Amino acid sequence: MLSKAVDALKSDKKVRTIIIRSEVPGIFCAGADLKERAKMHASEVGPFVSKIRAVINDIANLPVPTIAAIDGLALDGGLELALACDIRVAASSAKMGLVETKLAIIPGGGGTQRLPRAIGMSLAKELIFSARVLDGQEAKAVGLISHVLEQNQEGDAAYRKALDLAREFLPQGPVAMRVAKLEINQGMETIPTKDRLEGLLAFKEKRPPRYKGE
Q: Annotated active-site positions, please?
A: 32, 77, 80, 100
Q: Distance between CA atoms of 92 and 20, rounded to whole angstroms?
A: 18
CB neighbour list of residue 207: distance below 8 Å, 6 or more residues apart: none
- Which DSSP string corresponds to 87-111? EEEEETT-EEE--GGGGT----SSH
Q: Distance between CA atoms of 67 and 86, rounded to whole angstroms?
A: 6
CB neighbour list of residue 55: distance below 8 Å, 6 or more residues apart: 2, 3, 6
